[in-house]
């Protein structure tokens, strides 16, 4: 069996997000977020689930950190719930909310786990949404203010920061496809929001630098790989457009100070006009210390006039899928990392999310999630191929520590290394947890063992 070994410097971790695990939705002065509203809108979330209790990590974070310690991780990525800090988005800080994150970070540090903090993982204060949400440029100012307060408060305690998680989901999935909060179906609105998110990201980076905050800052776009069906120019171009929607649209502005011209034309042909103001590019186009990449899936695609947004038809070739219906496509992970490296000057990369949905349950106190282990083996092997090909990988964080509130899928879809019984909130470590622990201890693994 081949042994896949990683360089000693690679940091290992797990990732979570506030609304998906914390619960305590109405405690200690937390304000409502767009996800509280969305999950109360009939038909939006499977089984009518919501994040009111979730994994109750707000109260059980010490138990969760103990499991992280036993897992042997170096880094824990979590997100701060903006409405816990500013219940109405701006104004007075809610001290109780702040205390929670101080306790969390102190506990992590006491266990030699480095915190990596995402400022925005989708729980926008509802009050800001009522004023137009991310379509309103005031929200950019509110975000910059919130970011500044967090930088000042946690300077030196949190040393790795991510401004925004998955801008594609916040803009297009939530405001054009309509699957996530607030659930709009408007391409112009979604495109405007994508631009505002980039400005908000840039405003936070500006604050970080001007305040001289210790540590590093990046942001975390998600991507999908599209493999052209053939080497016909039209297939290759269609796949490139599909990928650019995730990659170049959200990265060229940061690294190059412009949008990819070929996508601008596509959007304009669909009647979209870009809402760019003076000074935006200066904010957006600034050096960041790393990008966080979230990778789950890829597909084969080909040109088909009128298909989807970019004349791109995904072909379902019956590749194996995880329990959420996403193709298992580890070779796309390798290719995407190489693409990013060649396009963006060997930028340091943290894999801020990668993982699989499998819904295995508890049997005699164990969870035999062998498919998750296989998925991790395949993707970590792709990661090693990328490292050996010169990709500047700094760390890998799997999604997720715990089964949790999987957005529109509610509690129906499980991504955790640890099983949660959502009735009793009992935690059970899965086989994949033990596999990952061993992998971290040996800094590698034998394929298939
Ligand atoms: C998100 C997570 C989510 C995961 C699985 C990512 O899009 O950042 O919050 O749970 O994928 O769907």
Query: Do β-strands 75-79 and 114-120 pair in parallel, antiparallel, or remain unpaired?
Result: parallel
The Å distance, Cα 45 to ligand 1 centre, comes to 15
Mean pLDDT confidence for 43-69: 98
User: Which contacts of 95-103 are long-range, i.e. CB under 8 A and separated by 24 or more positions?
Assistant: 96/28, 96/29, 97/28, 97/29, 97/30, 98/153, 100/28, 100/58, 101/154, 102/154, 102/157, 103/61
Alpha-carbon distance 283 to 197, whole Å? 11
148, 166, 377, 406: the catalytic one is 166
How large is the C-alpha radius of gyration of the chain? 21
* Domain architecture of the chain: domains with CATH: 3-224+259-292+326-446 (3.20.20.80)
- Known active-site residue 353: yes
The Å distance, Cα 123 to ligand 1 centre, comes to 13
Alpha-carbon distance 13 to 372, whole Å? 16
Q: What six digits make up the tokens of 355?
A: 């993982």
Statement: residue 449 has pLDDT above 90: no
By C-alpha distance, which of 412, 398, 360, 402 is closest to 47?
Answer: 412
Statement: residue 80 has pLDDT above 90: yes
Alpha-carbon distance 370 to 383, whole Å? 20
Element (H, E) at 5: strand 3-5
> 124-143 pLDDT, tens per residue?
999 999 999 999 999 999 99
Residue to substitute in 20, 49, 246, 399 for testing ligand 1 pocket (most ligand atoms within 8 angstroms of CB): 399
The Å distance, Cα 190 to ligand 1 centre, comes to 19
The Å distance, Cα 269 to ligand 1 centre, comes to 31
Going by alpha carbons, the residue nearest to atom 12 of ligand 1 is: 406
Ligand 1 touching residue 403 (CB < 6 A): no
**Please, what is the average pLDDT of the chain?**
98
Statement: residue 101 has pLDDT above 90: yes
By C-alpha distance, which of 418, 449, 444, 413 is closest to 431?
Answer: 418
Alpha-carbon distance 112 to 72, whole Å? 9
| CB-neighbour burial class of residue 184 (10 A; exposed 0-12, middle 13-18, buried 19+) | middle
Nearest atom within ligand 1 for CA of residue 166: 8
> 352-406 pLDDT, tens per residue?
999 999 999 999 999 999 999 999 999 999 999 999 999 999 999 999 999 999 9
DSSP E strands in 270-356: the ranges are 290-303, 312-315, 349-353
Ligand 1 touching residue 377 (CB < 6 A): no
Mean pLDDT confidence for 224-228: 98
First to last CA, the chain: 8
Nearest atom within ligand 1 for CA of residue 406: 10
List CB contacts of 217: < 8 A, sequence separation 6 or more: 161, 162, 163, 204, 205, 208, 288, 289
Going by alpha carbons, the residue nearest to atom 3 of ligand 1 is: 406
Ligand 1 touching residue 165 (CB < 6 A): yes
The Å distance, Cα 144 to ligand 1 centre, comes to 24
Ligand 1 touching residue 224 (CB < 6 A): no
Going by alpha carbons, the residue nearest to atom 9 of ligand 1 is: 17
Mean pLDDT confidence for 159-177: 98
Alpha-carbon distance 248 to 255, whole Å? 10
Statement: residue 81 has pLDDT above 90: yes
Q: What is the share, in percent, of the chain residues with pLDDT greater than 70?
A: 100
Mean pLDDT confidence for 158-181: 98
> 270-305 pLDDT, tens per residue?
999 999 999 999 999 999 999 999 999 999 999 999
Alpha-carbon distance 403 to 413, whole Å? 8
Phi, psi of 292 (to 5 degrees): -100, 130
Looking up tokens 């640890």, which residue turns up?
418
44 C-beta neighbours (distance < 10 Å), count: 22
The Å distance, Cα 354 to ligand 1 centre, comes to 9
Ligand 1 touching residue 404 (CB < 6 A): no
Alpha-carbon distance 444 to 436, whole Å? 9
């Amino acid at each position: 069996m081949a042994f896949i070994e990683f360089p000693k410097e690679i940091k290992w971790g797990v990732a979570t997000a506030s609304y998906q695990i914390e619960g305590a939705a109405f405690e200690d002065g937390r304000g409502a977020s767009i996800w509280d509203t969305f999950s109360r809108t009939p038909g939006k979330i499977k089984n009518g689930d919501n994040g009111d209790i979730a994994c109750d990590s707000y109260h059980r974070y010490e138990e969760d950190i103990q499991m992280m310690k036993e897992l042997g991780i170096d880094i824990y990525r979590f997100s701060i719930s903006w409405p816990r800090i500013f219940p109405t988005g701006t104004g007075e800080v809610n001290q109780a909310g702040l205390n929670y994150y101080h306790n969390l970070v102190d506990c992590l540090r006491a266990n030699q786990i480095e915190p990596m903090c995402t400022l925005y993982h989708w729980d926008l204060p509802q009050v800001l949404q009522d004023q137009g949400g991310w379509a309103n440029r005031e929200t950019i100012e509110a975000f910059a203010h919130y970011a500044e307060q967090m930088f000042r408060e946690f300077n030196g305690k949190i040393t790795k920061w991510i401004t925004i998680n998955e801008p594609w989901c916040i803009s297009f999935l939530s405001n054009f496809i309509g699957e996530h909060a607030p659930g709009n179906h408007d391409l112009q609105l979604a495109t405007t929001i994508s631009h505002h998110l980039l400005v908000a990201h840039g405003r936070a980076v500006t604050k970080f630098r001007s305040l001289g905050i210790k540590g590093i800052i990046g942001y975390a776009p998600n991507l999908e790989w599209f493999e052209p069906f053939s080497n016909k120019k039209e297939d290759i171009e269609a796949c490139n457009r599909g990928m650019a929607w995730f990659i170049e649209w959200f990265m060229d502005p940061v690294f190059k100070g412009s949008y990819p011209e070929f996508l601008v034309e596509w959007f304009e042909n669909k009647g979209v006009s870009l809402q760019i103001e003076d000074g935006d590019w200066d904010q957006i186009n600034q050096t960041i210390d790393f990008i966080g990449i979230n990778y789950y899936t890829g597909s084969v695609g080909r040109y088909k006039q009128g298909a989807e947004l970019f004349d791109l038809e995904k072909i379902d070739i019956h590749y194996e899928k995880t329990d959420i219906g996403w193709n298992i496509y580890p070779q796309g992970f390798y290719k995407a990392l190489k693409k990013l490296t060649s396009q963006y000057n060997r930028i340091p990369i943290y894999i801020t999310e990668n993982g699989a949905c499998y819904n295995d349950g508890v049997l005699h106190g164990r969870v035999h999630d062998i498919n998750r282990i296989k998925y991790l083996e395949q993707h970590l092997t792709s990661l090693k191929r990328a490292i050996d090909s010169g990709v500047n990988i700094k760390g890998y964080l799997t999604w997720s520590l715990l089964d949790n509130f999987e957005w529109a899928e509610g509690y129906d879809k499980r991504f955790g290394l640890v099983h949660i019984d959502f009735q009793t909130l009992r935690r059970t470590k899965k086989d994949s947890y033990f596999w990952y622990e061993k992998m971290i201890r040996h800094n590698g693994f034998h394929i298939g063992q």
